[in-house]
Amino acid sequence: MSHLILVRHGQSEWNLENRFTGWVDVDLAPKGKLEACKSGELIKEQKFKIDYFFTSYQKRAINTLKLILNTLRIKDIETIKAWQLNERHYGALTGLNKDEMKKTYGEKKIHEFRRSWNTAPDPLNKNNPYHPINIETYKDVPLENIPDTESLKDTYERVLPYFKKEIQNKLENNKNVLVAAHGNSIRAICKFLFNLDEKKIPLLEIPTGNPLMIVFNSKNEITKCNYLDQERAKDLIAF
């Protein structure tokens, strides 16, 4: 038996401001830090050892993981950072207020940008300070792998090979894994694990700072799946 715990970072500063964030490296808001600590408490209650800890290159996910580890009283543990687990890139929408963009493009179009499978916003100009090539965090990422914009499909095709290569094999070897990442990178993992089609995946909501625990049996089949904070649980269309 193995466990996979997926945690979307706690509320970020730009979540609070209702802005499209994507690859911009913003930190946690005060509420997000509390959510991360609560995640740690909920995970602690499960009373099993976690063998591997993964996160993205983005500080809101990294700091969520740090707060979880602090709550678990785990020190001097290796954490694995992967840009492949980054949030989806929102292209030219990056930094803009979601409600204001609904007025500009219409609510239906913004929903399509946010939730459709293969619709990407216009590319972000490379001279824009929010473009990843202008953000120090990504200096080690090969230029050919840095996007100008992404659809959910693009994000899936970035996340899935990494998940299969670096995480799935650990689960198959009965190891327990925690991944602190982002709404869309977690959505991509869930699409694969639950074999969701392109119509169902946009309906899957991933709440901030609420660990999603997935239990696998010895045949690597999912036997249980639930959010640990039931009061803040979203409907799981997957299981």
The pLDDT tens digits for 110-161 are 878 777 899 999 999 999 999 999 999 999 999 999 999 999 999 999 999 9
- For 26, other C-beta atoms within 10 Å of its C-beta total 17
Which pLDDT score, from 0 to 100, does residue 17 have? 97
Q: Which of 3, 9, 89, 131 is catalytic?
A: 9
Read off the pLDDT of residues 198-239 as tens digits, 9 standing for 90 and up: 888 878 889 999 999 999 998 989 999 999 998 877 666 554
**Is 9 tagged catalytic?**
yes
Which pLDDT score, from 0 to 100, does residue 116 have? 82
Which pLDDT score, from 0 to 100, does residue 237 have? 56
Domains of the chain: 2-211 (3.40.50.1240)
Contact 21, 132 (CB under 8 A): no
DSSP 8-state assignment for residue 119: -
Q: Which residues contact 72 (CB under 8 A, 6 or more apart)?
A: 40, 43, 44, 50
**Is 112 tagged catalytic?**
no
Confidence bin at 190 (pLDDT 50/70/90): very high
Q: Which residues contact 6 (CB under 8 A, 6 or more apart)?
A: 179, 181, 186, 189, 190, 211, 212, 214
How many CA atoms within 13 Å lie on the side-chain side of 151? Answer: 12
Which pLDDT score, from 0 to 100, does residue 114 have? 78
Q: Which of 35, 87, 89, 150 is catalytic?
A: 87
Q: Residue type for 127, please?
A: N
Rounded-to-5 percentages of helix, strand, coil across the chain: 45, 15, 45
Q: 3-state DSSP call for residue 177?
A: strand
Which pLDDT score, from 0 to 100, does residue 36 have? 97
H-type alpha helices, the chain = 13-16, 30-44, 59-71, 98-105, 107-115, 152-162, 169-172, 183-193
Read off the pLDDT of residues 33-63 as tens digits, 9 standing for 90 and up: 999 999 999 999 999 999 999 999 999 999 9
Which pLDDT score, from 0 to 100, does residue 104 have? 87
Which pLDDT score, from 0 to 100, does residue 236 have? 65
Which pLDDT score, from 0 to 100, does residue 235 have? 64
